[in-house]
Structure 1
């Protein structure tokens, strides 16, 4: 078998050595940083997230910092959601599009101060985009990547763990809001957020050299609650209907096609990048939509390619963008990006490497 070697420059997470000590079996590169992808027992990690509390190294969820007198202007130009009423210490889920209305990232925009924003991004070089836009518009703002590395604490017992660390004030945080904290002199921002529907927090570490110490502090505080290591769980995120930018989107996907319409404000100023194109797309009618798909006779351990063709009466109507085994439904599920002429409840065929398999389209999230 040929050896695959990365030619790019990648970095270790501040939590890297802790995750290796925990037994991380697989690592992937994300935003040019190594991120754990499992600790040897996928099902146990899944149920820990659903029933208890799990801690994740998500340092690869990098921050694009916009700082300067025109930071708010740049943040709005980049984001198709109206940010005018956003307050300091508030985050908002946003769609960042190109001039054609194509989704190029779906970060959380965190307002750090009146002259400072962070875009907590998915896997992409969106900081290049922000820097180029700032230069092209002549804005007085510096675009950089600060020393900030999130650690997620997720699951129904996550609030108890984080409250044990920082106090009961964290229980009052609304979703996507955050506050400043410090533990053993380690500076943090504590946000109620995370890439699961089980509830939880993200601890934005602001001193990378303290990553392993923070991991141990959280690990110790979580022991009474049965905390253990995990990672952004593909089974739970699929069941919950969470979008994964880059996996569930292609080079033509607009926000309306992947259920982000409520995060797009078509009435924002015309200089917001992509807003004119999105107005046209909305007026002309969206051509594709995202549904769930439940496959027939497919085993848990079958490893097939993603972005598989979906057929209806032998005609291609879209793609299955990813798959995951559902431990609650006991079957393979995934997302379908298909023509709006195809609806939930209909039966389709998915063209796999080993042949066609029947699937049923359903609305998202899955009923589990």
Structure 2
């Protein structure tokens, strides 16, 4: 089996040693950092995530800070989502497009203060784009990568575990809200966000000296909750229709093609003119496959006889639903319920297009 060759080009996190000790069996690379990808196996990890609570090293979610007099103006210029109602203490999911309307990234942005945003990056070099737009537009801002590493707590028992460490008040955070909560005399930003359908929190650690004490505290008080180290789970995210930038969308797709229509609310942004003209002839859909499903490390053609209906972008076997679960970019000529064939590297798999995702 091949392994990840570690080097200084792929950055460690403040928790890499702890993640190794917790039994991580695979890493991927995300924003040039190590991101755990498996512990007990994708299926085992998925079942535990749905039942209990996990602590995830998601330091790869790099935080790009936009701060200064024109921070709000630049942030609004970057996205078609209307941010006028996003107040300090709130987060917003913000598709960011290039000039032709193609998706550059789909981060979550936190409005930390009146003149400051933190942009939590999906995989990609968005910081350089933001710096370029700030310079070209003459915006009075500073753009830089914060010395901050997030730790996620995800799963149905995340509320209980996080409350034990940060106090009961953290349990009252609304979805996509955040605040500062005390840990060992330090006020840490905790947000009601995370990359799973199970719910949970993300904790933004701003000093390396606090990283392992926080990790140890979460495990010390969570033994009776079956707390484990975990990571974003391929099966769980596909079942829930959660998209992965670089897999399910790239700069070749627009928000309309990846189901983000509701976030295109204004056109005075970069790419706005192209989005206003755009007519979508394809869209992402759930695709139910017969298993077993091989590793989806390339785009698989979706065929209807001799006609190509689209391609699969992500896929995995789901024990809970007893089938292969997949996300596909499908031409609008094909409707839910259509029988198709997915051409994998291990041979064809019968499949069916679905109206909705599984969870």
Note the C-alpha offset of 1:353: 1.7
Are 1:280 and 2:277 counterparts? yes
Say what the alpha-carbon RMSD is for the aligned residues. Answer: 1.8
Note the C-alpha offset of 1:311: 1.0
Contact 1:179-1:189 at 8 Å conserved across structures: yes
Distance of aligned partners of 1:246 and 1:8 in 2 relative to their CA distance in 1, 3 Å threshold: farther
Distance of aligned partners of 1:197 and 1:304 in 2 relative to their CA distance in 1, 3 Å threshold: closer
Counterpart for residue 337 of structure 1: 329
Q: Distance in 2 between matches of 1:96 and 1:308?
A: 26
Counterpart for residue 30 of structure 1: 30
Note the C-alpha offset of 1:186: 4.2
Note the C-alpha offset of 1:170: 1.5
Note the C-alpha offset of 1:306: 2.7
Q: Distance in 1 between matches of 2:22 and 2:174?
A: 31
Contact 1:176-1:193 at 8 Å conserved across structures: yes
Q: Distance in 1 between matches of 2:319 and 2:352?
A: 18
Cα deviation, 1:199-221, whole Å, max 9, x if unaligned, reads 11111111133222211111112
Contact 1:310-1:316 at 8 Å conserved across structures: yes
Contact 2:154-2:200 at 8 Å conserved across structures: yes
Are 1:316 and 2:313 counterparts? no
Q: Distance in 2 between matches of 1:315 and 1:93?
A: 36
Counterpart for residue 53 of structure 1: 53
Cα deviation, 1:44-63, whole Å, max 9, x if unaligned, reads 32111101111111110111
Cα deviation, 1:245-287, whole Å, max 9, x if unaligned, reads 111013310011111111121x35x2x1111111111xxx311
Secondary structure in structure 1 of the residue aligned to 2:222:
helix
Are 1:294 and 2:288 counterparts? yes
Contact 2:90-2:111 at 8 Å conserved across structures: yes
Q: How many pairs align?
A: 359
Contact 1:235-1:327 at 8 Å conserved across structures: no
Q: Distance in 2 between matches of 1:162 and 1:63?
A: 22
Q: Distance in 1 between matches of 2:75 and 2:337?
A: 40
Cα deviation, 1:159-197, whole Å, max 9, x if unaligned, reads 011111112211221111000123114442111110111
Contact 1:305-1:353 at 8 Å conserved across structures: no
Note the C-alpha offset of 1:143: 0.5
| TM-score, scaled relative to structure 2 | 0.96
Unaligned runs of 5+ in 2: none
Contact 1:186-1:207 at 8 Å conserved across structures: no
Note the C-alpha offset of 1:325: 1.5
Secondary structure in structure 2 of the residue aligned to 1:257:
coil
Q: Distance in 1 between matches of 2:248 and 2:260?
A: 13
| TM-score, scaled relative to structure 1 | 0.93
Secondary structure in structure 2 of the residue aligned to 1:255:
coil
Q: Distance in 2 between matches of 1:168 and 1:64?
A: 30
Question: Which 4+ residue blocks in structure 1 deviate beyond 4 angstroms?
Answer: 1-8
Q: Distance in 2 between matches of 1:111 and 1:4?
A: 36
